[in-house]
Structure 1
Amino acid sequence: MVEKTVGQIVRERAAMHPTTEAYVYPERDIRKTYKEFDEETDRLAKAFMGIGIAKGEHIAIWSDNKREWLLSQFATGKMGGVLVTVNTSYQSAELEYLLKQSDATTLILGEEFKGTSYIDIINEVCPELKTAEKGAVSSGKLPHFKRVIVMGENQFPGIYTWSEFEAFADRVDDDQLEERFVSMEPDDVINIQYTSGTTGFPKGVMLTHRNVVNNGKLIGDTMNLSELDRLCIPVPFFHCFGCVLGTMAAVTHSTTMVIAEQFDPKRVLQMVQDEKCTGLHGVPTMFIAELNHPDFASFDTSTLRTGIMAGSPCPIEVMKKVINDMGASEITIAYGQTESSPVITQTRADDDIEKRVSTVGKPHAEVEVKIVDPVTGEQVPTGVPGELCTRGYHVMKGYYKNEEATRNAIDEDGWLHTGDIAVEDEDGYIAITGRIKDMVIRGGENIYPREIEEFLYQHLSIQDVQVVGVPDPKYGEELMAWVILKEGQQLSAEELREYCRGKISRHKIPRYIEFTKEYPMTASGKIQKFKLREMSAERTEKTEV
């Protein structure tokens, strides 16, 4: 266990590898060494202090993977501000909820994202901004809210430009920064991440220096990262995948971060080639988009060694292609959730291919895992599915201002209940077979959609497939498969059912099959199965009529 703050890690790495590149933005032609990164984040930490942000104060940040986001993450780690990460796809009601629930005093934002004006949205949420003096916002709806900073130099009423904000650093000297720096403890909250809120309102997960520093370190250890590695990070920073599995895993190992502001499969392949990346992160849909890009074969990805595929279940066939076609022979699977900082288990670089494609690996060091019967709470034997629970340094401090939800998630013995169904094999490897909510019960038979998805992925015409349960008057639930076909391929529902017959049990063959071009997704690239279930129920109701 590392008992250090985020800021201490940056300083340690800058001292050890001052000339190693810390980060590269190929699209912006920006390259900075670890020494420069340390100096930049010191100056920005002073700016946060100079503008009046106290230790423990909440700073919301809302943009794609801009350099200002990266620097803010590590600068707040030096002066004790709590970074509240905002989903890039949020609209006005969601932003208002987050700013209010988190008690944020400050919002740092990009001007826009994919054609949506963030400036217009914050003006809608806080109309007082247009007439406010910069840094002195007074909002009826947001009693704690004081200031807005834009990542850029365009002037907007009531909003600091980035250079105006940075100039506040001149008000703070080295001794004042040092006093703040040494006042922080590893157990202090440094980050609040809002869960995507697939049920009810999003909850603010409070993560500490100890949570994210150690999780990042153990992730990088498992990948064998070092100062010789160059990790391509196209996953969003606002999600733990970006800011723990990505930036924190890299910085704890002096690894170079090669950053894409937004995901684009061709751009990522270009970065991997031009920057000679040794690692690449992505959710399965990203890897699928890269592998299926018409120009894929023209890119040289031979420098790839490692990376992480995570965020949602990783199809076995996709994993094999990443190893064989991309050359990432040591690619790992990581599993966890925001509430566990986030990684609980991970496959190892030297695990055989079977373990790496059929399990999510073993628990990290310092992490306890048990699998229990969701009804009785009793531990189940090896090979029997149950709910995965975990305990250790990585469990969140709790949900911000939500003690009831915290008690529901973490029991009195400190076990975090994940809501995921898992099976442990005799070697200690864990397979995730679904969410408790995803499990389909058809005529008394428990069916795990993941198993059927893995089978259907093997069909040569199928690019992606998702299976969900839909209500049925006779069996309680029936199966529905949503299929994305590969470019130029044709397949009928009946042909797909015929493919299943004799290979999987009759009750596992989807009764309903729909072909689609895309799935409802979160901004972090996860497929929203709850929306697929809603769409499926609507379709089947119409069919029944």
Structure 2
Amino acid sequence: MTIDPGIAEIRKITEQLAATDFPVSIGAFVAERAAALGDAPAAVWFEDGLTLSYADLHRRSDALAAALLARGIRKGAHVALMMANVPEFVLSWFALAKLGAVLVPVNTAYTSTELDFLLNQSDSQALIVDAALLPAFEGMSRRPSCLDDARVFVRGGGAPYASLDDLLAEERAWTAPWPVVSTDLASLQYTSGTTGFPKGCMLTHDYWLLLAFSAAGGMGADQIRRSLLWAPFFYMDPQWQLMMTMQLGGTAYVARRLSLTRFFDWVRDFGINYTSFSEVALKALPPGPADREMALRYVNAWGWAPASVREAEERFGVVARDSYGMTEIGAGILMPAAAVHKLDKRTCGVPAPFRETRIIG
């Protein structure tokens, strides 16, 4: 019996994942990637002129984990992280993972009322925050009882709080004081709260590893070397996109925020192979001879109409595919690269690896 090529592709990826010896934790993943890739560039904050290698990410997150441990942050502690797309976000995230602490990403646009809800509802016992965002914290009416000034670590600031810059500068040696395993809680990822206050999803280390490795399997290791990340890191997408890029041994180019006027210049200038963008961005760029000069190979075309998918593939020579996921489950349904016979349909695909779907009603 002939198997649909899209389903065959997902089965193959699922088999490869089932045979994979996954790292035991996000921290172990960072260490393994550093051992394998060393001084190769892992992430480039190109608007700030800063590049961190795989070794840098590992070494500096080790040092920050040790500094946070010395300040009383322990395994299981809930630590809110409120920063824009800066290197310290990634270093703090990896440091907390190595400690076994629980990351609570915070929307940088939150008001004092929203921050009050999130910090109390998540039982946050510490806060890592950019100095520019302190007014929202200082305007709260109910600070969690255990969140005193000594547990507020400020990027670009200091007294009466602790300076995150000073913690990083200490360059302490790190020795893990306890094991962190795949089923340990890694983060409380809050949803967008479209219909009310957001809810926190409890996500384990293996959730993030499976999501990143699954995405890497679908992209093609021989195709993706440079990815463009533009969404805020407090959302889940750039978190798995960075880990996916690291799993592929590539380099992530990190933008401060999305710019429709500069987006395709970034794609061209940095030789980007993978990114995501909206139909609005596609329509904002008139077709031209430079389209085929881009190095793009794969685009997440979330929610695109079939005509837009076809346009992108013809103009840029890319694979553009839809998918559907939720914070609670990660990838749920995806359109395989091999499913070219379905591109004229409004579909987001077939069940992702290790997922099942049902049609109800």
Correspondence list, 1:106-255, <5 A: 106-112=126-132, 118-125=133-140, 141-146=143-148, 147-152=151-156, 154-155=157-158, 157-167=159-169, 169-170=171-172, 173-174=173-174, 177-180=175-178, 183-225=179-221, 229-244=225-240, 246-255=241-250
Match of residue 331, structure 2, among 336, 343, 359: 343
Match of residue 84, structure 1, among 101, 104, 107: 104
How much does 1:334 deviate?
2.1
Match of residue 84, structure 2, among 53, 64, 78: 64
How much does 1:35 deviate?
2.0
CA distance in 1, matches of 2:27, 2:317: 31
Q: 1:289 to 1:330 in 2, by over 3 A?
A: closer
Q: Describe the SS at the equivalent of 1:323.
A: helix
The residue aligned with 1:526 is: none
Q: 1:367 to 1:123 in 2, by over 3 A?
A: same
Aligned 8 A contact 1:62 1:86 in 2: yes
CA distance in 2, matches of 1:372, 1:54: 44
Q: Describe the SS at the equivalent of 2:104.
A: strand
How much does 1:38 deviate?
1.6
Paired residues, what number? 339
Q: 1:54 to 1:359 in 2, by over 3 A?
A: same
Q: 5+ residue gaps in structure 1?
A: 113-117, 127-139, 374-545
How much does 1:260 deviate?
0.6
Correspondence list, 1:248-327, <5 A: 248-282=243-277, 284=278, 287-289=279-281, 291-293=283-285, 302-310=294-302, 313-325=303-315, 327=316
Match of residue 354, structure 1, among 339, 342, 346: 342
CA distance in 2, matches of 1:367, 1:3: 21
| One-letter amino acid of the structure 1 residue matched with residue 167 of structure 2 | F
Aligned 8 A contact 1:230 1:278 in 2: yes
Calculate percent identity across the aligned residue pairs. Answer: 27
The residue aligned with 1:330 is: 319
Q: 1:163 to 1:315 in 2, by over 3 A?
A: same
How much does 1:300 deviate?
7.3
> TM-score normalized by structure 2?
0.86
Q: 1:125 to 1:179 in 2, by over 3 A?
A: same
How much does 1:228 deviate?
5.5
The residue aligned with 2:37 is: 17
CA distance in 2, matches of 1:216, 1:203: 23
CA distance in 2, matches of 1:226, 1:52: 44
Aligned 8 A contact 1:247 1:257 in 2: yes
CA distance in 1, matches of 2:351, 2:53: 33
Aligned 8 A contact 2:43 2:52 in 1: yes
How much does 1:252 deviate?
2.5
Q: Which has the higher contact order (CA 8 A, sep 6+)?
A: 2
CA distance in 2, matches of 1:236, 1:299: 27
Aligned 8 A contact 2:292 2:317 in 1: no
How much does 1:103 deviate?
0.8
> TM-score normalized by structure 1?
0.58
Measured against aligned partners, the alpha-carbon deviations of 1:275-303 in whole angstroms (never above 9, x if no partner) come to: 11111123x2xx41354157987777610
CA distance in 2, matches of 1:356, 1:77: 42
Match of residue 49, structure 2, among 19, 23, 29: 29
Q: 1:301 to 1:272 in 2, by over 3 A?
A: farther
Aligned 8 A contact 2:60 2:171 in 1: no
Q: 1:201 to 1:274 in 2, by over 3 A?
A: same
| One-letter amino acid of the structure 2 residue matched with residue 339 of structure 1 | E
| One-letter amino acid of the structure 2 residue matched with residue 88 of structure 1 | T
CA distance in 1, matches of 2:305, 2:101: 39
The residue aligned with 1:512 is: none
CA distance in 2, matches of 1:226, 1:55: 38
How much does 1:368 deviate?
2.0
CA distance in 2, matches of 1:275, 1:324: 21
CA distance in 1, matches of 2:289, 2:108: 31
Larger deviation: 353-362 or 199-208? Answer: 353-362
Determine if the alignment matches structure 1 residue 365 to structure 2 residue 353: yes
Q: 1:328 to 1:93 in 2, by over 3 A?
A: farther
How much does 1:319 deviate?
2.4
Structure 1 or 2, whichever has the larger Rg, is 1
CA distance in 2, matches of 1:260, 1:336: 23
Aligned 8 A contact 2:260 2:281 in 1: yes
How much does 1:197 deviate?
1.6
Q: 1:186 to 1:199 in 2, by over 3 A?
A: same
Correspondence list, 1:384-533, <5 A: none
Larger deviation: 212-221 or 223-232? Answer: 223-232
Measured against aligned partners, the alpha-carbon deviations of 1:137-187 in whole angstroms (never above 9, x if no partner) come to: xxx6411313222222x44x42333322324553xx43xx2333xx11100
CA distance in 1, matches of 2:125, 2:219: 38
How much does 1:328 deviate?
5.2
| One-letter amino acid of the structure 2 residue matched with residue 185 of structure 1 | V
Q: Pairwise CA RMSD of aligned residues?
A: 2.4
Measured against aligned partners, the alpha-carbon deviations of 1:215-260 in whole angstroms (never above 9, x if no partner) come to: 111011111146961110112211111212x112222222211111
Measured against aligned partners, the alpha-carbon deviations of 1:313-333 in whole angstroms (never above 9, x if no partner) come to: 3233332333233x1522222
